[in-house]
Structure 1
Amino acid sequence: MPPECLAEVREFLDRLTPWVATREDIVGLLLVGSYARGAARPDSDVDIVLLTSDPASYLTDTAESGSTWTDRAGELGLGRPVRTRAWGLITERRHTLASGLEVELGIGGPQWARTDPVDPGTRRVVTDGARTLYDPRRALAALVRRCRP
């Protein structure tokens, strides 16, 4: 993996993680996939699970408060989404940064991280590689522990 790609991912995560910590509705942030397990290639996208008490506000582009997801994505340098697709308890919002790096935000509610029982899709995501970025309630830590062999 070229060092400039890793640096760009680090810079993005360094913007995202503190921003998440300022949002009362966000209950967890998990880096998953190849970057989480240290096996990213130049064509790898950055896969993130964002858990919130208000998933709908991240899945629509209008909000009563006037702060839309598009505005939030702009704050993070994500631009407009390229694709939105539902995957069970998670809805993917895929973005392409100006550099071409793809970021897939999997947005869902806290129930995605439940451990009794662990959803089979959640287990696959976590066992494929997971690194906790923000977990004030320790729900993601419990999930990762539960999914370890």
Structure 2
Amino acid sequence: MRPDHYKLMYEFVKWAGEQSHIAGIALVGPCADDENEEDSNLSFLLISDKKTKTLEAILHQFPFEPIEQATKEEWGLLTSFRIEYASGMEVEYGVAGEEWLRLPLDQEMGDTVMKGFKVIWDREELFVQIIRYMETHQFE
């Protein structure tokens, strides 16, 4: 992982830990692999009981760099912001409620977590189903 990714991740997790509506954070995709030097974007998966509040807080309260562009995408129960910061770094923040975790993983999300998944912070062991999915599909 690139040094600027570590800096953002540290600052984001520190900030998110102070938000009572955020229950868990994971890195998803190639960025979740510490050994991966690939120039992949950071992709966070956040679990929140107040999805809209969490998305707005990321846009307006997370004190990182100025935002150059933010694109919102809806994926059923998961909503994501793809944010490009002033430095050119791109980060995806996917936010879903706990009900999203109870759904079976679709093919696209399953493929994404198989490229990398790392729980960064979790209040209630929310990501157990995703970890089990990875364990049962690792040799396919």
Query: What's the TM-score once normalised by structure 1's chain length?
Result: 0.77
Give, in whole Å, the separation in 2 of the partners of 1:96 and 1:11: 15
Give, in whole Å, the separation in 1 of the partners of 2:128 and 2:15: 20
Q: Percent identity?
A: 22
Check whether the contact 1:27–1:52 (CA below 8 A) recurs between aligned residues: yes
More strand by share: 2
Change (3 A) 1:35 1:70: closer
Where does residue 87 of structure 2 map in the other structure?
99
Where does residue 65 of structure 1 map in the other structure?
none
Find the residue that maps to 2:127 and give its secondary structure: helix
Change (3 A) 1:98 1:80: closer
Q: Write out per-residue CA displacement over residues 118-140 of structure 1, whole angstroms, 9 at most, x where no aligned residue.
A: 33254333222101111110111
The reply to whether residue 128 of structure 1 matches residue 124 of structure 2 is no
* Alpha-carbon RMSD: 2.2
Check whether the contact 1:30–1:48 (CA below 8 A) recurs between aligned residues: yes
Give, in whole Å, the separation in 2 of the partners of 1:30 and 1:13: 10
Q: Which stretch of the first structure deviates more once superposed, 9-18 or 105-114?
A: 105-114
Change (3 A) 1:81 1:141: farther
Q: Write out per-residue CA displacement over residues 2-42 of structure 1, whole angstroms, 9 at most, x where no aligned residue.
A: xxx71100000110112111111101111011111343523
Where does residue 18 of structure 1 map in the other structure?
14
Check whether the contact 1:34–1:40 (CA below 8 A) recurs between aligned residues: no
Give, in whole Å, the separation in 1 of the partners of 2:104 and 2:37: 26
Structure 1, unpaired ranges of 5+: 62-67
Change (3 A) 1:81 1:25: farther
Query: What's the TM-score once normalised by structure 2's chain length?
Result: 0.81
Count of equivalent residues: 134
- Of the three residues 47, 67, 76, the one matched with 1:88 is 76
